[in-house]
Chains A and B, each alone.
Chain A
Amino acid sequence: MDQHFWSGGIALDLFFGGIAVGTFLFAVLLSFHRVAFSSAARTAAIITPLSVSIGFVFLVAHLGHPERFYIVYTKIRLTSPLWWGAWLQAIFFLISVLYAWMWIKDRAPMRRRWLGCIGAPIALAVGVYHGFLLMVFKSQPLWNTGPTTITAICGFITTGIALVVLILAILPRQKVMLAELKFSRNIMGAAIVVQLFTLVLWLSSLFFGSAESYAAFRRLVEDYGLLFWGGAVLLGLVAPLVLGVVAIVREKYGGHFSYAIPAVTSLLVLIGGLSLRYVVIMAA
C-alpha cells in the first residue's frame, strides 16, 4: 500500500507561508531604504497576513481532524518542528497584522520600523521552520539534506518579492513610483540568482550523497522531470532571469521601460515557485 501522506495542501501551505516570509522581509528592507518606497512597502506589508492566513487554511484543511488543531497549543513538544511552527506562525501572524495596520494608517514610522525589526527574525524563523520541517525527516532522503532549508528560504524570499512586483506592475501607474518598481524588480533578479545557486547546491547534495539520496534525485529529475525542469527551473527561474536581463540591457541603451516585463517575469517566478513546492512534496 503506497500512500502519499503529504500532497498538494502542504505544497500550498509552503507556497503561501513562504510568500508571507518574503513579503514581510521585503517590507522591512524597503522601510530602511533611503528613498521612501512606501507603495511597495505597504503592498508587501498588507500581503503578509493575507498570505499567512491562506497558507494556514490550506494547512488546516489538510489535517485529518482540523477541529482539534487547538490541542497543539495546549502541549509542550520541543522535539516537534510542527509544534514550533504552529507557535512561530501564530506569533508571526499577529505581528504581521499589526505591521500591516501600521502601514495602512501610515503613522509612527519609527515605531513601525521597530516592529519590523522585531518581526524580521520571526519571519526568518518561520522561513527556517518551513525548510527545517522537511529537513528533519530522516525517512525522506529528498528532504533530509543540509541545503534543503537554505534553498527553501531563498525560494520563499523570491516568490514573496515576485508577488509584490506583480502587484506594483499592475497597479494604476500614478500610485506607484517607477523607481520602486525598478528597485523591486532588481532585488527579485538578485534573489533569483541566489536561488539558482542554492538549488544547484541542493541538487549536488542529493547527487553526490548516499544511494538513497541519489535515488531521490533520480525520482525528482526523471519521474517529476517535466514539472521540475520545465516548471520550477525553466519557467520559474531561467526565463524570468533572461527576460529581466534583456529588459535591463534594453533600458541601458535607451529603450523605454515596459511594465509588461516585470509583470510577466514575476508571474513566471510565482508559477515556478508553486511548481517547486509541489514537486518537492510529491517526489519525496
Chain B
Amino acid sequence: MKPDQRISRREMLGATAASVAGGAVMMTGCSPAGERVASESLKGKKFAMVIDLQRCTGCGGCSLACKIENNTPDGVFWSNKLTQTYGTYPNVNFEYVPTLCNHCESAPCVQVCPTAAMHCADAGIVNHDSEICIGCKACAVACPYDAIYVNDEKPHAFWRDERSALNGMTSSAMEVTLRVNGRELPYYNGDRDRDTPGTAIRSKGVPEKCNFCLHRLRRGQLPACVEACPCNARIFGDLNDPNSAVSRLLGRYRPSRLKEHLGTSPKVFYIRSYNRGAYESTKGTV
C-alpha cells in the first residue's frame, strides 16, 4: 500500500463508529441524523440542541464520536452523561442523560473571563480562544455544569512515552508519534486544525470545552455527536428559524434545561424526559 493510501487509526476508528451507528440505525429503524446546517455564513443564527431522552439509548456513541473528532485527553469528555440509579428492588430505575456544554445565552464562563478568551462566537456558540487565554481557570470555576476542563498537564502523555512493550521488538508510543510528524494519534483531526487553526490539540495550561464542532458547522456539517447518534436523539438547528427541527420540537414538547434556576439560559434542551427534574440538584457528577 502506498503511503498516501494508508488508513489512519483515526479514520479506522471513525469508520468503526459509523458502522456501529449504522447498524444500530438499521436495528432501531430510526431515520438518519437530522437537519443539515447550511454552509453559508453562520451569522444571524442561534444554534441549539434538543436531546430526546426517549430516543436516547445511552449507547455512548456521541461521546466516542466527540473524542475522535476533537482529540480530547484521557478522562475528558466534552460529550458526557449524568447517570442515576434510584428506587428499591424490584422497583428500580436507571436514568441516563447525555450532557455537553450548554452554550448558555448568559454564559457565566464568558462573563468572568478577563481576556475574552472565552467568548460568544458565531451563532451564539460559546467558544474558547487558547491563544489569548492566561489560564486563570475562572471559566471552569464559573461553569455550573462542569463542562469545562483544564489541561494542567500536556495532554496525551501516553503518546510521548518512549518505553516499548518488548525492547527492540515493538515500537514505543513516541516512535509512532514521530512517524506521523508529532501528531498525537489516534485522535488527531487534521480537518479541525485546518478550519480552526491550533485547536486540534489543546496545549497545557488552558481550558477546553465543546464548541458544537464549530469547524464542522463552518463546512455545513453537523456536530460529530449529532452525526453519530444512531437513534436521532440529538437534534441540532437554528432557534431563530421557526421552521427548524429544534424550533418545531420545542413548540411541540415542553422542554427542560439543566439548572434553569441559575438563569444561565442554556441552549441544550431536553424533551420527553422520563423523570424531569431528577437532576436539578445534581452537581459534580457530570
Is B76's CB under 8 angstroms from A77's CB? no
Known contacts A2-B284, A137-B142, A139-B141: A64-B114 contact under CB 8 Å: no
Give the contact-size bracket for chain A.
20 to 34
Considering only residues 240-284 of chain A, those with a C-beta below 8 Å from chain B are 284
Shortest Cβ distance from residue A187 to the other chain B in the assembled complex, whole angstroms? 34
Question: Roughly how many angstroms separate A82 CA and B114 CA in the complex, as a whole number?
Answer: 6
| Residues of chain B lying within 8 A (CB to CB) of residue A75 | 114-116
B140 at the interface (CB under 8 A from A): yes
Q: How far is the CA of A250 from the CA of B284 in the complex (A)?
A: 52
Instruction: Please report the C-alpha to C-alpha distance between residue A176 and residue B79 in the assembled complex, in whole angstroms.
Output: 63
Find the residue from B136, B205, B206 having the highest chain A CB count within 10 A: B136
Check B132 for interface membership: any CB of A closer than 8 A.
yes
**A208 surroundings in chain B (CB, below 8 A):** none
Determine chain A's interface SS by DSSP, over half rule: loop
**A124 interfacial contact with B, CB 8 Å:** no
Contact B205 A81 (CB under 8 A): no
Main secondary structure of the interface of B (DSSP, over half): loop
- Once A64-B206, A65-B206 are accepted as A-B contacts, the answer to whether A137 and B108 lie under 8 Å apart by CB is yes
CB < 8 Å neighbour of A1 from B75, B132, B138: B75
Known: A1-B149, A137-B108. A68 touches B283 (CB 8 A): no
Cα-based distance from A184 to B125 in the complex (angstroms): 54
Is B134 close to A, CB under 8 A?
yes
Are A65 and B113 in contact, CB atoms less than 8 angstroms apart? no
Tell whether A138 pairs with B262 under 8 Å between CB atoms, given A64-B205, A82-B138, A212-B281: yes
The listed residue with most B CB atoms (<10 A of its CB), out of A2, A64, A138, is A64
- Interface residue ranges of A56-85 to B (CB < 8 Å): 62-66, 68-69, 71-72, 75, 77, 79-83
**B141 CB contacts on chain A under 8 angstroms:** 5-6, 137, 139-140, 284
Chain A: CB-nearest residue to B148? A5
Q: Does B60 belong to the interface (CB within 8 Å)? A: no
Asked if A174 is at the interface (CB within 8 A of a chain B CB), the reply is no
Verify if A221 is at the interface (C-beta below 8 Å from B). no
| A150 touches B (CB below 8 Å) | no
Chain A residue contacts of B134, Cβ below 8 A = 63-66, 68-69, 71-72
How many angstroms from the CA of A6 to the CA of B204 in the assembled complex? 16
Q: For the complex, give the distance between the alpha carbons of A81 and B115 in Å.
A: 11
Q: How far is the CB of B232 from chain A (nearest CB, A)?
A: 29
Q: Give me 19 A-to-B residue pairs in the complex whose CB atoms sit less than 8 angstroms apart, sorted by A's number.
A: A1-B149, A3-B150, A63-B134, A63-B205, A64-B134, A64-B152, A77-B115, A79-B110, A80-B138, A82-B112, A82-B114, A82-B136, A82-B138, A86-B114, A137-B112, A137-B141, A138-B262, A139-B143, A212-B283
Seen from chain A, the residues whose Cβ lies within 8 Å of a Cβ on chain B are 1-3, 5-6, 62-66, 68-69, 71-72, 75, 77, 79-83, 86, 136-140, 211-212, 215, 284
